[in-house]
C-alpha cells in the first residue's frame, strides 16, 4: 500500500506546457489511494481543461476566488483549502509562479492558498533551460527551501522550445516516487518491526466443536494498519476471523489454537522491536480431543480442561530490548488486576478494557481503554472508534522511542 493512501493532496497547477502532464499525475494519485483537490491558475487552463482534472480527481476544480457568472456563488475559501491538505504540490511551478511564491504576490487563488497552507509544500519546476539556470530562478529555489518547501528537481530532456537540457518537469511517475520516498523517510516508525496478535483462538473438543470467544480481531487488525501507516513492518498473527489485510507491509499469519499462536510468537519475537498482544487467547483447552464427533447420550457431559501456555508471560521472559504491550479484559477490580499482570508478565504497558464500559470489548466498532504503564501511571481514555484507539496505542510506541532516542 502506498504511503499516499488516504492522504489529502492539494495540487496547484500553473501556466506552463507541462500542465498537460497533470492529468496523468492526478490519475496516479487516485490510484495510490489519495484524495486530490486541484487549484489552477487562469493561465494553466490554456494547457489542460478543468473538466479533465475534475473528472479524474472526482472533485470540482478551483481557479478563481468566485464564479463571476453567478451572482449567488460563494467565494472559494483559500484558507479552508490550505487547511484541508496533508500536503500541497505545485506542478508545474513556472518561473512566474515561483517568483510569486517567494514574494507573496497574491494575485490568484493558487498563491493565496499556498500562503495559507499549514502542510508540507512541494514544487516541481518546469521551464526552459536558460530560465532554469537564471540567477533569479536559482534564488527562488533557495528562498523556497528556506521557507521549508521541498523542490522536486526538474529533469533533462527535450523542451518545448526545441532545445534539450534541464528544466523539463519531472515525469508524473517520478513525482509520485519522490513524494513516497520523502514521506516514508519521515515516518516515525520507519525501520521498526512490530509483532501484533489479534482475534480469538479456537480449542478443539472434537472435529466439529471448539471452545472459543466473541473476539472479532478488529482491534488487532486496526493496530496493524495504524503501525503500517507509520512506517513499521508488521507481523500480524491472527486467530480465526473473517478480517483480512491487503497491505503489503503486513505479514498476516493465520493460526487457530493457542498453541499455534504461541509457536508463531516464539518464532518471530526475537526479530521485532515491539510486540502488542491484542488477541483474546483461550486460557484453557480440552485435555484430550475426541477423534470422532461426540454423540449426545447422557444428560450431563463434562470436559477436563488444562491451561494453555501463557504467551505474554513467555514473551516477558524472553524480552531484551523489545517494547512489550499487553491487553487486559476485566469485569471487576480492573485497575488492580491489570497492575498485577504488568508485574507478572514483565510488560512495559497494558491496555485495559472493562466490560462494565458501554461500547467496549468484543464485536463493537468502538472501544474504551485505560493505559497503565509499568510505573503504574494510569491514563483513562474516552470512548473512541477502534481505529482511533489503534492510533493512540501507536502514539505510545512513538513516545517510547522518542524518550529513548
| Contact status, residue 247 vs residue 235, Cβ threshold 8 Å | no
**Catalytic: which of 213, 247, 337, 346?**
213
CA gap 161, 90 in Å, rounded:
22
Q: Where are the alpha helices (DSSP H) in 106-216?
A: 109-116, 129-133, 135-146, 172-186
The yes-or-no answer on residue 67 being catalytic is no
Give the list of residues 6+ apart from residue 200 with CB closer than 8 angstroms, or none: 212, 213, 214, 215, 217, 239, 240, 241, 279, 280, 281, 282
Q: Is 232 helix (H, G, I), strand (E, B) or coil?
A: coil
CB-based contact 167:126 (threshold 8 Å): yes
DSSP 32: T
Q: What angle do CA 98, 12, 190 make, to 5 degrees?
A: 95
Q: How many residues does the chain have?
A: 405
Total H helices, total E strands in the chain: 13, 21
Count of CB atoms situated within 10 Å of the CB of 32: 19
Residue-wise DSSP of 250-284: EEEEE--SHHHHHHHHHHHGGG-SEEEE--B--SE
Catalytic residues, by residue number, are 213
Amino acid at each position: 500500500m502506498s504511503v499516499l493512501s488516504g492522504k489529502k493532496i492539494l495540487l496547484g497547477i500553473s501556466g506552463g506546457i507541462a500542465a498537460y502532464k497533470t492529468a496523468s499525475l492526478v490519475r496516479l494519485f487516485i490510484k495510490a489511494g489519495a484524495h486530490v483537490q486541484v487549484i489552477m491558475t487562469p493561465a494553466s487552463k490554456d494547457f489542460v481543461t478543468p473538466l479533465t482534472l475534475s473528472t479524474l480527481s472526482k472533485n470540482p476544480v478551483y481557479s478563481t476566488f468566485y464564479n463571476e457568472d453567478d451572482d449567488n456563488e460563494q467565494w472559494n475559501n483559500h484558507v479552508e483549502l490550505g487547511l484541508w491538505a496533508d500536503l500541497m504540490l505545485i506542478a508545474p511551478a513556472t518561473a512566474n509562479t515561483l517568483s510569486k511564491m517567494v514574494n507573496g504576490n497574491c494575485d490568484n487563488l493558487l498563491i493565496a492558498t499556498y500562503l495559507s497552507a499549514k502542510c508540507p509544500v512541494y514544487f516541481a519546476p518546469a521551464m526552459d533551460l536558460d530560465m532554469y539556470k537564471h540567477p533569479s530562478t536559482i534564488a527562488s529555489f533557495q528562498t523556497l527551501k528556506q521557507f521549508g518547501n521541498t523542490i522536486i528537481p526538474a529533469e533533462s530532456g527535450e523542451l518545448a522550445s526545441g532545445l534539450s537540457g534541464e528544466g523539463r518537469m519531472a515525469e508524473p511517475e517520478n513525482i509520485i516516487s519522490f513524494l513516497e520516498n520523502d514521506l516514508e523517510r519521515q515516518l516515525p516508525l520507519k525501520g521498526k518491526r512490530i509483532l501484533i496478535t489479534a482475534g480469538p483462538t479456537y480449542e478443539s473438543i472434537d472435529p466439529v466443536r471448539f471452545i472459543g470467544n466473541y473476539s472479532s480481531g478488529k482491534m488487532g487488525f486496526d493496530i496493524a494498519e495504524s503501525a503500517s501507516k507509520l512506517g513499521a513492518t508488521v507481523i500480524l498473527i491472527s486467530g480465526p476471523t473473517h478480517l483480512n489485510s491487503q497491505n503489503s507491509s503486513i505479514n498476516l499469519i493465520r493460526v487457530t489454537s493457542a498453541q499455534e499462536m504461541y509457536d508463531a510468537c516464539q518464532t518471530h519475537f526475537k526479530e521485532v522491536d515491539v510486540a502488542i498482544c491484542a488477541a483474546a487467547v483461550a486460557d484453557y483447552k480440552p485435555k484430550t480431543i475426541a477423534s470422532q464427533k461426540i454423540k449426545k447420550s447422557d444428560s450431563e457431559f463434562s470436559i477436563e480442561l488444562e491451561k494453555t501456555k501463557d504467551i505474554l508471560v513467555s514473551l516477558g521472559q524472553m524480552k531484551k530490548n523489545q517494547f512489550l504491550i499487553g491487553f487486559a479484559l476485566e469485569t471487576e477490580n480492573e485497575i488492580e488486576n491489570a497492575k498485577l499482570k504488568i508485574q507478572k508478565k514483565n510488560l512495559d504497558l497494558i491496555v485495559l478494557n472493562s466490560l462494565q464500559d458501554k461500547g467496549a470489548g468484543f464485536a463493537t466498532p468502538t472501544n474504551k481503554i485505560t493505559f497503565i504503564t509499568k510505573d503504574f501511571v494510569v491514563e483513562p481514555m474516552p470512548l473512541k472508534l477502534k481505529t482511533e484507539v489503534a492510533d493512540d496505542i501507536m502514539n505510545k510506541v512513538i513516545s517510547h522511542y522518542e524518550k529513548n532516542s
